[in-house]
Structure formats: structure tokens, C-alpha cells
Structure 1
Amino acid sequence: MTILVTGATGNLGRLVIASLLERGADPQSIVAGARDVAKAEDLGVRVARLDYTDPSSVAAAVEGVDSVLLISGSEVGQRVAQHQSVIDAAKAAGVTKFVYTSAPKATTSDLVLAPEHKATEELIAASDLPSVILRNNWYTENYAADVARAAETGVLASGAGDGRVASASRKDFAEAAAVVLLEDGHIGQVYELGGDVAWNYTELAGAIAEVTGREVEYQPLTADEQLAGLQAAGLDEGTAGFVVALDSGIAAGALADTDGTLARLIGRPTTPPRRRHPRDRLISRSP
């Protein structure tokens, strides 16, 4: 069985390949799809050029592959067309397992990121590819900048209100992808994946305070306050508005659900934002 991982040089892609190898996959059975193949040379597996915007490169990378992991692209507003090229190539190549990293409740969520994921899921369904959908909640690492800023200023500011986030580490989500790719079955499943614990920003502020040894206050912001602050920090209006919309979705509960599916898939508890041993902390004194 040959597995193609798209976006293989990204943060998640690298961890998926590492997880596949840790679980015993033959390095020669893994193909790392990357826009810049030089960046994939350290992965220890076969490498193929794969640029979402170049359908010929996608078709060449997928040729002869049994399973494909489509890691969603990072270019918001362009992802549906980019994903379509991978779906079309996989269909033409007769791929027998197609796995996609989507967003929580993508087909029903009001989260600003959901529409592109919803559209991609619909394209996959229309293709009749044997598929598995992994609806990943937030990566805890997404909050590294917020944690660093709060550790410096003593303030954690957000428009997320009292909304909870069932985050887990990227490694947790990468392991789930590896399990689904390597195991028989899973075809037709839509997995809602999240951490075992859903936390809010008040609890995050407390965790940062515990680790840094200084008081950290959570400062809830209105949408207008957050927008003004982000623009004052140098973000353009569109980007700032996107961040505000994300936090508004969190405040409304878009990322709060967790039912243990991720832990069951990977066979262990998910990684909490902060663990007792300092070297295991995602929130820590080290960057």
C-alpha cells in the first residue's frame, strides 16, 4: 500500500509522516507531496512535487498511489479549487482511500472557516471516492503567540467570550490521520476530532499564570474593541475582520464539543494544553 501525504512539509504533514513511520510504515510506501521538494528531503520518505495550483503536478504525484491524505490548503479563499485538483487526480488514479482534514461540523457550522471545508466535503462526496473525513478541532499550538504575549504583558485579550475550545496537539491529530491511513476500514466515516477537555480563556489565563509565575488576566473584548486593537497592531482590515469572526464563532460554541473520538482513535488520552511535567507542556516558559 502506497500513501501520499499532501502538504507534507507543513507542521501537520511532517507529524503525519513521522507518525506513519512510528507505526511501522515502510518509508518506501510513503510519498511526501510538497510544492518545494527540497524542503521534504529530510523526511526520510519518497518525495514528489505537488503544487495545488498545478494540476499536472498533482496528477503525477497521485499516480500509482493507493491512499491519499489531503491536508487542507492554507490559502483561504483559494482552497476549494486547490482541493478539487487533488480530488480529480485521486479519482482518475483509482485511489482506494481518500482522507481529508476538515473543520468541526463543517457542513452545519457558522464558523467563518467552515464554508470552504463544507464545499470540499461535498466535492469528495460527489466524486464517489472511498473517503474518510477528519474534522479537526483547533491545534493547541495555534495559541503560542497569545501565550507569549500574555506571559509578557500579563493580559490575555480575546473576543472569544466564555466560549470553550476542545483543542489538542498537532501530534494528536497527526496520529489519528496515521491510524486511519494504515488501518483497514474507516471508509465512509466522518470523525469529529477534539481534545478530551474543552477549556475557556479564563482557564487558559490561569494556566499561563501558573507556568510563568506572574498574574495573567483574561480581558474579554467586544468585536469592535478587538477589531480596533488588531488594526492598531498592524493587521489590515480584512485579516483583522477574519480573526474577529473566528473568535465570534468560538464564543458561540463552534469549537466546544468533544466526545472522546480522537482519544479512541489514537489509543491514549489527548495532550492537554498543560501537563504536570515541564518538558511535556505545550504552555511553558520555553518558546
Structure 2
Amino acid sequence: MPPLPTEQVPGLHHLRVGEIVVTAVSDGFLNASNAVLQNIAPEEIDRLLTESFRPTPRRTSVNTFLIRAGGRAALVDTGCGGSLQASAGKMLGNLAAAGVAPGEIDTVLLTHLHPDHSNALADASGQAIFPGATLGMHAAELAYWEDDGAASRAGASGQGVPYFAAARTQVAPYRDRLALFADGAEIFPGVTAVHLPGHTPGHCGYLIASGEDSLLIWGDIVHVPEVQVARPEVTMQFDVDPAQAAETRRRVFDRVAADRQRFVGMHVHFPGCARLAKDAQGYRLVPEARDLAF
């Protein structure tokens, strides 16, 4: 009998958007408490997860996305690095399995500066992991994490001062190559910034378009799909502005459902690509079927 496998195949999934290739690069997953979900009873969380055959407390996928366009390579988010759980921090290994070295990434785009999205910008010694990359994010995002007053107020949001310290540490080696942008800016070939505030002030998605095709990277519009797709009013303790986060989620849901827009999410179960359907009962997330001829 052939030897039994000791690990999964690399966490990679390729998507074609016209002439652009987007690769979902898994960073693994995080096991986390349900207590950070707000505006919903604990037993209702358990019911929704159990009915969807998901563990409770929740398990959250962490995804990053590699964009190859015009002879260039961009990475959207960097995942957890080595500072969170052993089940996460897999992005660099999976990127290597895709045949891409960190030095070949010329642009890193952040949806926002939470540690599960930015902690692999720098290594334990504070050196840039992507030595040739420009670091791009919405201008409001960097302003928030550099605001000492916001740091002192952050305890109520569940982020706390350590989140601010981590964000500043990760950004530090890229200070001389920051690219701050506003909503609607084209920040990479075929990639336009879409400001989606609430989760953080500068939380940003990215619309990738080529020819007649498009793909929306919607960032953290949902953290727990089984709960927040059915109940979009459910917010997270980590939302800086929960009311705005819920309003943004509803607006994005309406848009992608009406436009039949294909999207990927950082916390939609890997590979994270889906569409959203709307009916009399609300919204349904429909995962995209795997296409080997991408």
C-alpha cells in the first residue's frame, strides 16, 4: 500500500478574471470563541453553526489572494504570521508551493491592519518579509492605527492597545514605500480600491476587472458565513463601528446579489469564492464550483 499522507496538499486555488489570474492562498484557520459575535443569542449561534455542520465554537478560515497581472504580482493580505495559532500562518508555505518567492511580490495590498491580515508583513526581527514590495492601504486605515487617542479608546472594541502596537510594528519596515489611496483608485493593473468602512475606518475591498469579467475581494464583510449571511445585523466585537459595519455588509450584500457578482472573502471557507443569492427568506451564500480549466 502506498504510504499514508501526513499533510494536506498545498492550499491553493486559481481563478481567472479575464487576462488576470487570482490565486487563493490559504493561511490556514483559527479556532475562536463565539462570544465576540454581537446582536445574537449564543444558542442561535450554536444552532446556525450546527445546522451547517460546522464546529461550535466557530472555526474561521483565513485566506489571502495572489494577483498576477501585466507581468506583476500583488498579494492581498498576508495572514497571521507565526504569532497566533499553529493552525494558521501557512501563507508563506503555500505561496512557495505556488512557485512564488516573497521577493517576487512587488505590491502588498491590505484590506485592513488586524493581525490575522497583516502579521506576516515583517518577521520576528522586524525585517520586511516582502523586501521589494510597496505596501498599499486606504489612507484612513493607516491614520486610525497611528492615532494614539484611538489606541487609548480601543479597549471597548476588543482590539486593545496590543493591536495598535502590532500594526505599527508590521508597517515599520515599509515606511519608505507606502502607497496610501482613496476609494475608487486603481492601485494595481485592473484592480480598483473599494472602501468598505465599519469593521475598521479604512477597511477596503478590491474590485478586479478584465474584459467582461470581474471579481470582488470583499475583505471581512463576513467573519462567520453561516451566521452573518443569514443574519447580517450580527456584528463582531472587533468592529470599530459596529453599526457602520452592519450597514456596509447589507449594502455589499445587496450589490453582489443584484449584480450576480462573483466575490472572494478572507473568512469565507477556503478557497473563499462564492456568489450571493437573495430570496424571500434573505440571503444564501453559494460556493463556486471548482473549475479545473480556470
Larger Rg: 1
TM-score band, normalised by the shorter chain?
0.3 to 0.5
TM-score (norm 1): 0.32
Quick check: which one's helix share is greater?
1
TM-score (norm 2): 0.32
Quick check: which one's strand share is greater?
2
